[in-house]
Structure formats: C-alpha cells, structure tokens
A = this chain, B = another copy of it.
Amino acid sequence: MPAPLTEERNRLDRAALLDAAERLFYERGVQAVGMDEVRAVSALPLKRIYRFFPGKEDLVVAVLRRRDQRWRESLAAFVELVPDPRERVLAVFDWLADWFAEPGFRGCAWINAHGELGSSSEAVLAEVRSHKRAFREQLAEWVGATGAPVAEQVFLLVEGAIVTAGISGDPEPARHARAAAAALLGMP
C-alpha cells in the first residue's frame, strides 16, 4: 500500500511548492520570478511542478486561491474574538496594523497581481475579483451587525489603508483608517 504514502507526499510537496511560489511571487512580483527559481526554492523537479500545475498561470492562481483562504480565515479568527459588533469592526484595523508591521509586507497580493497580470490573464483577474468579493461580503456582515449602513465605506478604508501602507512602508494608515471607521460607525 504505497498509494497512501504517495498521496501524503504529494500533499506535502504541493504545499512546499505553493509556499515557495507564494513567497517569491509576493516578494518580487510574478513576472520577475522564473519557474527555475520556483524549482530551486521548492526543491522539486521541474517535471513534478508541471505535473501539479500545467503552466505558470495555474500556479499563480493556485497561490492566490490558497492565500485567500489563509488570509480571510486568519482575519476572521482574530476579529470574531471580539463580541461587540462595533468593536469587532475596529478589530479589523488592529489586525491590519499587525499585518502591515510584519517584515516583508509589500501590500495586497491580489492588488499587486491585478496590476501586473489583470489585463493579460483572465484567470488571474477572476481570482482577484473573487477574493475581493469574498472579503467584501465577509466585512459587510460584520459591519451590517452594527446597524450602520457603511459597509462599502469601511471596505474602501481597508483597501486604501492596505495600498498606502504597501507603498509607503509605514503601518500608520491602519490607525487613520480605524479612526475613520469609528467615526462612520458613530463612535465619538
């Protein structure tokens, strides 16, 4: 019964591949990273990489999709510890502040991918829009629970904060966006 062993190894290697690709793509951009570098960092034969994903575009999409899961789950796990609806919305910005302060933070992976590939890869564009839609709905539920009809506005603050922190390299936008969200929620 080597079959289960093979499957287990597949799972691990696939994860290692996505780890390597995600790190490289996020740090340096998709087009600036060659498949050979992905191979070197993942320590997987090129042949096996192309068995997992038939082309680079598929790898990019898979990276974004897995990151979407992790990113939104991590955010949800953090903010849902906060019981009060309005404080819960503000906790989103506390989570952002922690994220912005992480070493190697370089803005939103989906926005970056959109700028780089949004016009040339239909699949990447769809994945970016899917992530943004999912996050927007997630956020809209939390904001909706406060009773204030400002979900879209809070979403724009989050997006602005991520982009600005990514470009400036400064986590400060999280605090300003938090203050703005508090005002919109009627918390003086």
Contact = CB atoms under 8 A, between A and B. Distances in A.
A115 B155 CA distance: 20
Interface residues of A, number: 43
Copies of the polypeptide in the assembly = 2
Given A113-B115, A115-B111, A184-B183, A120 B28 contact: yes
A110 B110 CA distance: 16
A63 interface: no
A59 interface: no
Interface string A162-177: 0110111000010011
Contacts of A128: 167
Contact of A111 (B28, B150, B167, B179): B167
Contacts of A116: 29, 31, 112, 115-116
Interface in A59-86: none
A172 to B, nearest CB: 8
